Structure 1
Amino acid sequence: MANFKGHALPGSFFIIFGLWWSVKYSLKYHSRKLNRNDQAHHSFKHLDVIEGAVKVAFAIIGILAEQFVPDGPHLHLYHYGEEHGWVKLMNWQHATMYLFFGFTGVMDILTYSPAKAPVGLDRLMLAVALFVEGFLFYFHVSNRPMLDQHIHSLLLTAIFGGAASTLMEVFLRDNVILELFRASLSLQQGTWLWQIGFVLFPPWGRPEWNEEDHHNMMFITMCFCWHYATAILITAINYTLVHCCIQSHQRNDGQTEFRLGIRKKNHDKSAHATLLNESDEE
């Protein structure tokens, strides 16, 4: 959809997954540090299957939204009538992007369910989906105004960066640095898609941007850096919150064990004293 909602919808999906990944991989990392591998591994496998199902659901929602909005193509790719030509190719491009992210959800389910697809295919499919997204966006804005092309080319930095880091995860499994890097780039993609919507399709009757003004391009470039700084900050906050929660839970467990040890010791002493008294009476 070439409008504000068409950019806000995928942007919201990327923000949701960026926030989820920043929490999930922080929890996974700290679980491994606490040597709870067996229990944590089993729990995270269930979470990965649920995550895959959510990806499939989001992809279906996105495809249906692109195809069946009032001005959408309604599954018509080419018009053979008097005005023959392609039908709403921009909607078809967005739907293709959603399709590949739906494939990543299916691969997550196959990898972490009893079907047990080879480990690494989930990350490989996600890298392919991100590459396809970048490939589509690269040819998405040809012959468009200068600001339109520039703001989408900045998005390509986050997309191809995410594709490259995810491809590295195929070979470097459970690398928390790469995982959190992917989470931060997902957050940036999401917030930047919202920014594109505000710039190119100002909602609520706001004035349109001058798409040929060089100062606007300078501001947008700087704004892109601010978006990534915000993404890093959010990822760091989530990691810190998870770390503090884990440490607090660990301290509480240690206090409980310490108290239980004292009680057990006192109980043993009282039992020993009772036995001595009984022996004296005899």
Structure 2
Amino acid sequence: MPSFAEITLQGNFFLLFGLWWSIKYPLKYVLQRRNAESQPSHWIPCIDIIEGTAKAFFALGGILVEQFLPDGPRMTLYDDKTQHWVQLINWQHMTMYLFYGFSGVVDVLAHSQLKLPVGLDRLLLAMALFTEGFLFHFHDYQGAPLTEHLYSLLLIAIFGAAFCSLLEVFLRDHILLELLRASLFILQGSWFWQIGFVLYPTWGGPAWNQEDQGNKSFLTMCFFWHYAVGLLVMCINGSFSRCCPNGCSISLEDVDVELDLPSCLRRKKQEVDPVLLPETGAE
């Protein structure tokens, strides 16, 4: 059976990437509009490579955790003695991490010399999200209606992000789709934490009543509170990303690396104290 640590680990995975994207994509959008007439910044592919590497390593860590926990299956899928499957829930979570690992590897290869088709990285991300969604949809909740309701709400965020990523295959670098995907990842990550607190109370109190209809109504409302908070966080991060480049408007490609700070300061000084030109030719 899953534990609070396993569920929050999944939440941290999605929450981290959602928060990072809520900063990365507004900053990327502002810089691209500012440098529309010049060459794109070279740091963007480097950031994508680091992001894909981090995604692959996170996925690998999740696979190892699901398999080699004290109560994990330890790479045993079927027990011949008992004639039963071994910890299928852990295997399902491992499958989810596996596809996200594929997505991270393709993110890295997309910026290599292999010249992969444009949009393949978003296609693999959409496949990972669809895989996660179907795994949780066909999950065995053992007749617990509240648990099933919690995960059915989670499917809204999962399949929403999946369709968004699929659209990005054809609408590349669409800022609205990127921000929508980021918000749904934040929602998914925070909701995993909510599931952990509901199903595995860490304060030692009684578990939530699985049959109480009021619990379902409250958690449905709470789900959209999570999304409202996520949108607020995105607005704050987006405002920070928009204000961050305003400190110096010089493109890094036009400035020598060793002299970029003095050049920036001189440029700002000239903008503040312009030289007065003579009014007449004689002067």
- TM-score greater than 0.5 by the shorter chain: yes
Code of the residue aligned with 1:33 in structure 2: it is: R
The CA RMSD measured in Å over matched residues stands at 2.1
Could you tell me how far 1:204 is from its partner in structure 2? 3.4
Give the whole-Å Cα distance in 1 for the aligned partners of 2:143 and 2:240: 43
Alignment of 1:80-119 (within 5 A): 80-81=80-81, 83-119=82-118
Does 135-144 or 98-107 show the bigger shift? 135-144
Code of the residue aligned with 1:18 in structure 2: it is: G
Code of the residue aligned with 1:230 in structure 2: it is: V
Q: Is the 8 A contact 1:11 1:190 kept in 2?
A: yes
Where 1:208 maps in the other structure, the secondary structure is: coil
Task: Point out where structure 2 has 5 or more consecutive residues left out of the alignment.
Answer: 251-263
Q: Which residue of 2 aligns with 1:34?
A: 34
Q: Is the 8 A contact 2:150 2:195 kept in 1?
A: yes
Q: Which residue of 2 aligns with 1:50?
A: 50
Give the whole-Å Cα distance in 1 for the aligned partners of 2:270 and 2:109: 41
Code of the residue aligned with 2:147 in structure 1: it is: D
Q: Is the 8 A contact 2:32 2:40 kept in 1?
A: no
Q: Which residue of 2 aligns with 1:74?
A: 74
Alignment of 1:243-258 (within 5 A): 243-250=242-249, 255-258=268-271
Q: Is the 8 A contact 2:141 2:147 kept in 1?
A: no
TM-score by length of 2: 0.88
Alignment of 1:164-179 (within 5 A): 164-179=163-178
Q: Which residue of 2 aligns with 1:278?
A: none
Code of the residue aligned with 2:207 in structure 1: it is: E
Could you tell me how far 1:119 is from its partner in structure 2? 1.2
Q: What's the CA shift string for 1:159-190, capped at 9, x where partnerless?
A: 00000011001111111110011000000000
Does 103-112 or 27-36 show the bigger shift? 27-36
Could you tell me how far 1:143 is from its partner in structure 2? 3.9
Code of the residue aligned with 2:26 in structure 1: it is: S
Q: Which residue of 2 aligns with 1:153?
A: 152
Q: What's the CA shift string for 1:214-268, capped at 9, x where partnerless?
A: 00000000000000001111111100111122234349876334368639x89xx
Q: Is the 8 A contact 1:141 1:152 kept in 2?
A: no
Where 1:73 maps in the other structure, the secondary structure is: coil
Where 2:110 maps in the other structure, the secondary structure is: helix
Q: Which residue of 1 aligns with 2:256?
A: none
Q: Is the 8 A contact 1:120 1:171 kept in 2?
A: yes
Q: What's the CA shift string for 1:65-112, capped at 9, x where partnerless?
A: 00000000000000011x221000000000000000000000101101
Task: Point out where structure 1 has 5 or more consecutive residues left out of the alignment.
Answer: 267-272, 274-282
Flag the structure with larger Rg.
1
Q: What's the CA shift string for 1:113-152, capped at 9, x where partnerless?
A: 2323111000000001000000000011444311011000
> Is 1:138 aligned with 2:137?
yes
Q: What's the CA shift string for 1:31-74, capped at 9, x where partnerless?
A: 1110165242x211011011110011001100000000000000
Q: Which residue of 1 aligns with 2:19?
A: 19
Code of the residue aligned with 1:50 in structure 2: it is: I
Where 2:44 maps in the other structure, the secondary structure is: helix
Question: How many residues get paired?
Answer: 264
